[in-house]
Amino acid sequence: MSGDGIQVLGFPVTSTPFLHAWWYVALWSREHVLLDTFPAWPDAQRHWTTPHPDREQHHLLARRDGDPVGAAVVRTVGRDNPHLAFVEVYCLPGSRRLGVGTALLREAEHLALGLGRRTLLAETIAPPGQESPGLVFAAAHGYRRAGLEERKSVDLAATEHRWDDVDAEVAERSAGYDVLWWGDTTPDDQVDRVCALYTRFLGEVPLGEVDLRPESWDADRLRETEAHQAAVGRHRLLVAARAPDGSLVGYSEAVRANAVPHRCGISGTLVVPEHRGHALGLALKVRLHRLVRAQWPDCATVLTGNAGSNAAMNAVNDRLGYVAVEDGHQLQKVLPPPPSG
């Protein structure tokens, strides 16, 4: 596809020159993003070229007069959300307002529709409580805000002094519960319990109007996911709350990439509703912070994100010293069906 000197190309991830150009454009298009979350090149290449058992990705590169100026990707998940595609669009600062983003988005939407995906979900970052060029661009192309996530970060060394007081509080409020933990591989005797928590996760966390449906987890899916994480050079620490009857009733999980050892991110935290009110969220997060310090001593920063409406988890994060850095706006668009015939 071309026009106004702009050419949008798809390419296989095995094409290292194209993939590196894609990574470069995406990296340098994020000058407004404050949290350091974009993968370093070795991690990105390994992640994008390692097949995932339930996800596909389709990369697009925009060139203007032969030079890479924009990038987009369409990501799909097959098992539980076959209606949905995730779309990302990037444009180098010096090439904006020239039709590059529009050309990429048009091609990405066409690609998603060809894959049978009519509900598109995108995200754009803005300073807390403010607008951003990405929000204006998305609105001009028919995307509406369906959810808002507050992005936060905590310096572990600077907030470690809080942990003893938190431990004293949760010891009293969570009497009768205990906290288990493990690393990359879930113990065999906990697999079914962890799958039950993962299955409940998307049905329990606030999603706003985002049409993201709950996932169904079983032992095969869990082991496939753990194997994929190992293959792409990522590691996990998981803490789980155990009720007096032996069931797992909550968890919090941190993931760290080998290529970026100084930081990790919280991939999910949940306490099931019937066991809330016992400070289990606080117990899980403080234990996870202690484990990160002990198991990954070179990891200085933890990143997380929570819906603004999630008062309980935001209170936990405030208690542990997380600071709001930026807003992640979840944007959604439903494409019309393709013409028949």
User: Over the stretch 40-60, which tens digit does the pLDDT of each residue have?
Assistant: 898 899 999 999 988 999 999
In which band, very low, low, confident or very high, does the pLDDT at 278 lie, cut at 50, 70 and 90?
A: very high
Tokens of 107: 């091609």
CA torsion sign for 87, 92, 94, 98 is negative
Residue from 242, 230, 292, 290 nearest 265 by CA: 292
- pLDDT above 70: residue 341: no
What is the CA 76 to chain-centroid distance, rounded? 14
Q: How many CB atoms lie within 10 A of CB 31?
A: 8
pLDDT > 70 fraction of the chain, expressed in percent and rounded: 99
Tokens of 146: 């369906």
Compute φ and ψ for 332, nearest 5 degrees. -135, 145
Q: Tens of pLDDT along 283-319?
A: 999 999 999 999 999 999 999 998 877 888 999 999 9
| Length of the chain measured in residues | 341
- pLDDT above 90: residue 109: yes
- Cα–Cα distance for residue pair 262/37, rounded to 1 Å: 11
Report pLDDT for 1: 45
- Cα–Cα distance for residue pair 235/105, rounded to 1 Å: 33
Residue from 44, 133, 149 nearest 97 by CA: 133
- Cα–Cα distance for residue pair 287/245, rounded to 1 Å: 21
Q: Are 233 and 49 in contact (CB under 8 A)?
A: no
Mean per-residue pLDDT over the chain, rounded = 93
Q: What is this structure's pTM? A: 0.91
pLDDT > 90 fraction of the chain, expressed in percent and rounded: 79
CA of 222: how far to CAs of 6, 226, 323, in Å?
42, 6, 32
26-35, 140-149, 181-190, 208-217: lowest mean pLDDT where? 26-35
Q: Are 164 and 330 in contact (CB under 8 A)?
A: no
- pLDDT above 90: residue 159: yes
Which residue type is seen at 296? Answer: W
Q: Tens of pLDDT along 57-106?
A: 999 999 998 899 999 999 998 889 999 999 999 999 988 889 999 999 99
CA of 178: how far to CAs of 137, 245, 256, 321, in Å?
48, 11, 25, 23
Report pLDDT for 40: 87
Report pLDDT for 38: 84
Residue from 40, 45, 36 nearest 17 by CA: 45
Report pLDDT for 3: 56
Higher pLDDT, 308 or 216: 216
In which band, very low, low, confident or very high, does the pLDDT at 236 lie, cut at 50, 70 and 90?
A: very high
- pLDDT above 50: residue 205: yes
Mean pLDDT of 197-216: 90
In which band, very low, low, confident or very high, does the pLDDT at 241 lie, cut at 50, 70 and 90?
A: very high
In which band, very low, low, confident or very high, does the pLDDT at 18 lie, cut at 50, 70 and 90?
A: very high
In the three-class reduction of DSSP (H, G, I as helix; E, B as strand; rest coil), residue 303 is classed as strand
In which band, very low, low, confident or very high, does the pLDDT at 37 lie, cut at 50, 70 and 90?
A: confident
Tokens of 198: 């993962």
Residue from 3, 50, 48, 2 nearest 22 by CA: 48
Report pLDDT for 79: 84
